[in-house]
Amino acid sequence: MTLAGAEVPAGPPLQPFLDRALALAQQAGVGLLAQRAAAAGTVMQKGRRRELVTAADRAAEQVVVGGLRAAHPEHAILAEEGVLTTAGEVDKAADWTWIVDPLDGTTNFVHGLPFFAVAIALAHRGVPVVGVVHAPALGETFFGARGLGAFRRWADGREQRLTVSRTHELADALLATGFSYNRNEPGRDDNSARLTAVLPHCRDLRRLGSAELDLCLVAAGVYDGYWELYLAPYDVAAGAVLVQEAGGTVTDLAAGGDWLFGGQVLASNGALHAELLRVLNRR
C-alpha cells in the first residue's frame, strides 16, 4: 500500500479532529516548558542504551492521551510512553487510531536544546490523515490534514501554508538524517554508510534530533529531503501527513509504502526522491 496515494476517508470531516489535536498539543507544550528547567533532575533510562525518558514526557502524554480518551472513547490510541495505554502498542481495534509522541526530541529537551515537540497524528485504517507537531520552545506549530493542506503557525498568530522546495539537483539540496540510540549494537545499521554515500553529492546535511520536526522542515521547504532508520510510528506519523499535504513524497527506503510501521522513512520534495533512493541504497 502506498500511503501517499491514499484517499480522504469517508465519514466525519477531519477539521474537528485537527482542532482537538491542536488544542491538546498546545496544552501539553505549556507543561513541557514549565518543566524544562527541572528536566535534568528527572531523567530516567529507557530500555535502549542512550535513550531517555523524563517526567515531562509522561506528564505530556497524560494530557494528550487523557484528552483524546475523553473526547473520542471509540478511537484507538498508540502512545510512546505507556502512561494510560501499553507503551508503543495500539490499545484496541478501531478504524481510527491516534498516534502520540508526547515529547519527540527528549535528549534535546534534557540538554537544553529547543528542538523538541509534541506530535499527534490520527490514522484511518492505518493511513495517517491528521498531523500536528507543536514545538513550544520554538514558538511554532506545524499542522494539517488530508485534503486540507499543511500549515505553520507562529506564536504571534501568523500562518504560512507549507510547500515543499523546488530543488531538482541533489548538488543543491540541504538534507537531514538521524541516528538510532542503539546504533552500535550487533547487526544494526548505524546509518554511517548512507551518510558517507550521500554527503559528497549534496550541498550539506543536518542532524536535528527530532524526526517529527525534520519531516516538518521538509514540508516547509527548508530541507529538500530527510531519511532515518529504526523509527516508530509515533516518530513519523504526524510529520509525514504534512510532507504529503505540502506536495512531497514519503516512502520507505525501498521506495515502498511501509514507512509507518516499517521502521525507516525517506521524505523529500518529490523531485529528488528517485535520486535520493539511488544514492542512499548504493552502499
Say what the pLDDT of residue 41 is.
45
Residues 113 and 243 in one domain: no
Residues 234 and 107 in one domain: no
Provide the mean pLDDT of the chain: 91
**Is residue 12 very low, low, confident or very high in pLDDT (cuts 50, 70, 90)?**
confident
Cell numbers placing 127: 493511513
Gap between the Cα atoms of 132 and 212, Å rounded:
9
Say whether pLDDT at 259 is over 60.
Answer: yes
Residues 6+ apart with CB under 8 A from 262: 252, 256
Say what the pLDDT of residue 4 is.
38
Residues 38 and 153 in one domain: yes
Gap between the Cα atoms of 140 and 159, Å rounded:
10
Strands of the sheet with 174-177, listed across from one edge:
204-206, 174-177, 225-229, 264-268, 249-251
Say what the pLDDT of residue 1 is.
25
Cell numbers placing 233: 510510528
Residues 155 and 175 in one domain: no
Q: For 144-188, how does the pLDDT look when each residue is reduced to its tens digit (9 = 90+)?
A: 999 999 999 999 999 999 999 999 999 999 999 999 887 777 778
- DSSP conformation class of 192: H
Residues 109 and 85 in one domain: yes
Identify whether the C-beta of residue 228 lies closer than 8 Å to the C-beta of residue 213: no
Q: Give the CATH number for residue 136.
A: 3.30.540.10
Residues 41 and 140 in one domain: yes
- C-alpha dihedral over 258, 259, 260, 266, to 10 degrees? -170
Domain of residue 52 covers 3-161
Say whether pLDDT at 80 is over 90.
Answer: no
Gap between the Cα atoms of 96 and 121, Å rounded:
10
Residues 143 and 176 in one domain: no
Reported pTM: 0.92
Q: For 39-67, how does the pLDDT look when each residue is reduced to its tens digit (9 = 90+)?
A: 544 555 555 555 567 889 899 999 999 99
Structurally, the chain folds into a number of domains equal to: 2
Residues 204 and 123 in one domain: no
Gap between the Cα atoms of 136 and 154, Å rounded:
10
Say what the pLDDT of residue 10 is.
58
Q: For 202-255, how does the pLDDT look when each residue is reduced to its tens digit (9 = 90+)?
A: 999 999 999 999 999 999 999 999 999 999 999 999 999 999 999 999 999 999
* Residue 101, phi then psi, degrees to nearest 5: -115, 105
Residues 127 and 186 in one domain: no
Residues 155 and 16 in one domain: yes
* Residue 99, phi then psi, degrees to nearest 5: -120, 120
Say what the pLDDT of residue 79 is.
93
Cell numbers placing 66: 487523557
For 240: left if phi > 0, alpha if psi spans -120 to 50, otherwise beta; the answer is alpha
Q: CA of 158: how far to CAs of 38, 120, 151, 153, 262, in Å?
A: 31, 21, 10, 6, 36
